Amino acid sequence: MRAFANLLERLAFTPARNAKLRLLTHYLQATPDPDRGYALAALTGDLKLRAVTPGLLRGLMAERIDGQLFAMSYDFVGDLAETIALLWNTDRDEDVPLREAVALLTDTGRARLPAAIAGMLDRLGPSQRLAFLKLATGNMRVGLSARMARMALAAMGAPEVKDLEEIWHGLTPPYQPLFDWIAGGARPEQAARAPFRPVMLSTPVDLEQLQAFDPADYVAEWKWDGIRVQAINDGGTRRLYSRTGEDIGGAFPDLIEALNFEGALDGELLVRRDRDVATFGDLQQRLNRKTVSRDMLDSHPAALRVYDVMIWQDRDLRDLPHRERRALLEGADLGSDRIDLSPLLPFATWDDLAALRADPPSPVIEGVMIKRRDSPYVGGRPRGPWFKWKRDPMVVDAVMLYAQRGHGKRSGFYSDFTFGLWDGPQLVPVGKAYFGFTDEELRELDRFVRNNTTERFGPVRSVAPKLVLEVAFEGLNASARHKSGVAMRFPRISRIRWDKPAAEADRLDTLKAMIP
């Protein structure tokens, strides 16, 4: 596992994308099976191991070190795995095979797991301990996407990235058939029917950028506030995948039952009552459920709004231009009233489209999607064929209340901020944000937290309510689970209002008035 630990460390501290690819390619070429396959699965999030909770790890440390020393060390380091890796006391530094660590985290029963983890940590040096704990907690955070991992694989042999993506979701770790194929063997057979195909994604755009293109070459449609899915019926095998390839059909049996076509469709998963599309908050109540009650099926019915088609009646249509795929969809029987086709928007100029975007017919619309009429369906995020022009974000001025240390490269800074709004004379927490600011602004925020701390709770600090943050967010829902009664979607810090007194921050009633 020493090579795996070295890989994680170098990836974490190598910002350049091409340099990361070279590091991973070299590791995959030099590392024997099955260790390289398990490493690849860990880096892409496809390695399913027994969950090791922070509470279990803290319990192990409580048996070995003074609690106050551990708390102070954790507060300084800011990362639980790194703190334990540094404090764990052992003189050994074995090079344990990665497959042995994976077996421990896969096969060990719950009762024996703490002792097994302690025994493994006793055998490892600091860097390997950190790698093992990252593996155990599933927290890699090394700045490497699954697509970049497949690019590294493509650099090793004949298959191209698109060929690898086509079969990826039919493979399981440690990917021996995949590495055999890369080495010149046969293309692996996919493990199941109804395979996931890579989804085509768009790039952000604004009106100024659009002026460089001829609007006659594009079509546009509404961008709905649901989740992007791929719906498949392959010879009677029906699947509903998220855009990352996770099978989510178990939470949506009503929609699975409605997939009465033969093919693979790309669209938006929504909750729809008759013709009215519900808010994302309604859809969220259906997500991540193992079972769905009859009452929930009746009150929150799932629907699919179709954007595109990949496969239709055993024909792969992805190489066809968008206008031909669209024409097929317009003439096709989609098989259920739960499935409909996203309508195209009428516009002749970009200013026409801007006017539509500024006045959508539903609050559940996030903006517009813009697609070249001649574009093939290409998995991933190719620049140019498809754009997304999202609506302007909602904004409130909030007051910083709490700050928490970040992780990884941010472990030395307070970078996760809880903010609140006025409700009468009190500030009520309404959300948390940890991005939207520059590195220089991060240093300034960290300095403010340290100089204005009023209380400490482990890695969290309560700060004097002095600093106003302009918070932008994409959506808002009523929420009984939050004390404030609201839940923001994708909050981020858009500006630090050093100039604004905290007393002039927005009120909770102002935020609630924005709920659709």
Residues noted as catalytic: 223
Q: Which of 393, 402, 400, 435 is closest to 421 using CA atoms?
A: 400
User: Torsion over CA of 285, 288, 293 and 297, rounded to 10 degrees?
Assistant: 60
- Which one-letter amino acid corresponds to residue 354? A
Give start and end residues of each alpha helix (H) in 308-349: 322-331
Q: Are 256 and 216 in contact (CB under 8 A)?
A: no
Give the DSSP H or E segment for 364: none
- 3 state DSSP class of 348: coil
d(Cα 97, Cα 257) in Å, to the nearest integer?
45
d(Cα 135, Cα 129) in Å, to the nearest integer?
10
Phi-psi region of 445 (alpha: psi -120 to 50; beta: other; left: phi over 0): alpha
Give start and end residues of each alpha helix (H) in 67-213: 67-77, 80-87, 98-107, 113-123, 126-137, 146-154, 161-167, 176-182, 207-210
| Token pair listed for 482 | 């939050």
* 55, 247, 252 from 287: Cα distances, Å: 26, 12, 8
Query: Which residues are within 8 A (CB) of 315 and not within 5 positions of it... i.e. 6 or more apart?
Result: none
- DSSP secondary structure letter of residue 258: T
Q: Which of 231, 337, 229, 341 is closest to 287 using CA atoms?
A: 229
Give the DSSP H or E segment for 214: none
| Token pair listed for 129 | 């301990």
d(Cα 255, Cα 361) in Å, to the nearest integer?
25
Q: Answer positive or negative: Cα dihedral of 121, 122, 124, 129.
A: positive
Q: Are 129 and 85 in contact (CB under 8 A)?
A: yes
User: Torsion over CA of 225, 490, 198 and 239, rounded to 10 degrees?
Assistant: -60
User: Torsion over CA of 120, 126, 129 and 134, rounded to 10 degrees?
Assistant: 170
Q: Residue count of the chain, please give it.
A: 516
Q: Answer positive or negative: Cα dihedral of 226, 230, 234, 239.
A: negative
d(Cα 141, Cα 231) in Å, to the nearest integer?
30
